[in-house]
Chain A
Amino acid sequence: MTDTSDAGDAVDPAEVHHVAELVRVDLTDEEAASFAEQFTDVLSYFEALDEVPEVEDEPDLVNVMRTDEVREGLDQEEALANAPESEGGYFKGPRVS
């Protein structure tokens, strides 16, 4: 990825592929090419945010706490019901490395 000073410039397909790799989405070269063009438009539209002044925000946030009590949840069968693969009561995923 390039540094911030280049952000107004065109996005190239290699950059799109790089971001796609970060978010774990396979893209075809055609998809990356058309996204690159669209991202250039959308990001240059986002450039207008540069004109926004700094604004003090004082949200009326409150902590919402409750007692940590055991409550009924999904049982194991329900939790696994939508998994493409499970084994011995566990989700079965692909190998990590």
Chain B
Amino acid sequence: MKITYPYMSNSHIAIKNLFEGLGNEVVPPPKPSKLTLSYGTKYAPEFACFPFKILLGTYIEALEMGADTIVSTGGVGPCRAGLYTTLQEKILRSLGYEFEMITLEPPGRYLGDLIKKIKRLINRRISLIELAGLIRFVWEQLKLLDEAEMTSFKIRPREIKKGETTRAYRKAVELIARARSIEDLKEIRNEIKKIYGAVDRKEDFDPIKIALVGEIYVVMEPTANLEIEETLGELGVYAERSMFFTHYTLANAVTDLFHLTGEKNVKKAAVPYFNEMCGGHGRESVGNAILYAKKGFDGLIHLAPFTCIPEIVAKSVLPAVEEKYGIGILSITIDEQTGKAGLQTRLEAFVDLLARKREKRRKGNIA
């Protein structure tokens, strides 16, 4: 079996280790590029959302590279994403590709099916202890990847030489990718501290704080959102996002197994506006927006793929949040455009707006 899977931020590094550890060959998905996009937009239905197109393109590239099995996640609820693997499978088959599509559905509802599929993915003799060790290593690796990224968000707005944090972050990811054991990861964690420590930065500078909320793929994958976090960081902004891979997995897949509601606080925060889920991350976008506003963030950027219904619902609620909590909100709709200039202008204007607002509040307090 030659497995491939969706590309999302740097998670592919650890996922590769997981599948290899289970005795499979892996064709790591290529980073989304112009080529990915051209495949995706050519073969996907026009009004499918951007994540659908990127994933379809990624699969085509990976199949061309020799993959014969695609592993992806499914989903439930009104968001179309739950149907995506089925549709993608049909499209890819009509293009003449032969492969197996393995869709991992949420454990709470389809446990039997999930176990069957996981068994399909284990292709060597592996003891339970060894399996537990493998999972632990992969998990720690994912955690360190998230950690390294979070640290870069904190340092970037303070960097003195533009681009230095990004270089440090890339080096960190490279190191993490090389790890083969938990011990390695411990050493690497210290190494990363040193790398980041060497980035010259402004002390006693209080950056504008912006949180990113929205649909998971466009929030988490930098090539999809035109590297928005990096861009904000270089404008001197501390950008925090509402989800990271490990946190998301814990809050959704794992809790689902025990029939628990994940991200309870987020859902509860959204209650004045949302009593029900609307699919995707619509409710979470609103809930997170409120939580960030309460935490004292200056602004909020809402990222939504074009035609994404859950985010459209969220977008219509956000002005009410904006008014009630006095937090600035910028909604950005993302599709296949790769021209960054327009986004840059909006971000610069938004940051200006927040900076002036903050200054005014400060002056007001003094007076």
A and B interact physically = no
Q: Which residues of A contact B (CB under 8 A)?
A: none
Q: Which residues of B contact A (CB under 8 A)?
A: none
